[in-house]
C-alpha cells in the first residue's frame, strides 16, 4: 500500500477534515477527544480555528488518518486519529513518528505532549516506543516527549512539499 503524508490547511482543507471526522465511529471520536462529542462538526471547527499544524495521511488518494499539533512557544500538544478500518495496522505508530520528527527536527520543538485515556493501550505503546514519559494525569495519561527521552532513529523526514 502506498502511504504518504501531506500538510493540510485548516482553512482550505476544512471541509475535508470535517467530513473525515464525521466518518469516524463514536468510539474513535471518544478516544480522540476523551469525551462524548455530540456535534462533531462544531467541535472540529473550533479546533481548526486554533490553526494547528495538520498532518493528513493518505493511502493512494484516500485520507486515512489525521494528526494535529497545537503549538505554544516551543511546546506542542499532539493528537491523532486513524480511520476505523485502518486501525491496528501500524499507521498510528508511523504517523506519530513523522509528527515527532517534523516537530523536533524541523520546527524546533522543545517538548511535545499528548493526552490519552487510561484504556488507550495502542497510544500508550506508541508513546513508549518513541521514548515518551507516560504520567498519570487524574483520569487520563499525559505523555511527554523531550529531546532527552526521544527515540526517533530511522524515522523518515517529511519533505517540504509533503
Beta strands in 28-132 (DSSP E): 53-59, 62-72, 75-82, 111-117
Does the footprint of ligand COA cover residue 36 (CB under 6 A)?
Answer: no
Does the footprint of ligand COA cover residue 120 (CB under 6 A)?
Answer: yes
| Contact status, residue 69 vs residue 11, Cβ threshold 8 Å | no
The residue among 12 and 143 lying less far from ligand COA, judged by its C-beta, is 143
Stretch that binds ligand COA, among 4-12, 83-91, 98-106, 144-152 (CB under 6 A): 83-91
Does the footprint of ligand COA cover residue 11 (CB under 6 A)?
Answer: no
Stretch that binds ligand COA, among 3-11, 53-61, 76-84, 147-155 (CB under 6 A): 76-84
Amino acid at each position: 500500500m502506498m502511504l504518504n503524508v501531506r500538510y493540510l490547511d485548516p482553512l482550505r482543507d476544512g471541509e475535508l477534515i470535517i467530513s473525515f471526522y464525521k466518518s469516524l465511529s463514536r468510539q474513535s471520536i471518544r478516544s480522540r477527544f476523551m469525551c462524548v462529542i455530540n456535534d462533531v462538526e462544531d467541535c472540529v471547527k473550533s479546533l481548526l480555528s486554533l490553526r494547528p499544524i495538520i498532518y493528513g495521511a493518505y493511502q493512494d488518494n484516500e485520507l486515512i488518518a489525521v494528526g494535529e499539533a497545537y503549538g505554544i512557544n516551543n511546546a506542542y500538544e499532539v493528537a491523532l486519529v486513524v480511520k476505523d478500518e485502518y486501525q491496528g495496522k501500524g499507521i498510528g505508530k508511523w504517523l506519530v513518528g513523522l509528527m515527532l520528527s517534523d516537530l523536533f527536527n524541523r520546527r524546533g520543538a522543545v517538548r511535545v505532549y499528548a493526552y490519552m485515556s487510561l484504556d488507550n493501550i495502542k497510544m500508550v505503546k506508541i508513546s513508549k516506543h518513541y521514548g515518551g514519559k507516560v504520567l498519570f494525569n487524574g483520569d487520563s495519561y499525559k505523555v511527554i516527549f523531550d529531546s532527552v527521552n526521544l527515540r526517533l532513529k530511522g524515522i523518515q523526514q517529511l519533505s517540504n512539499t509533503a
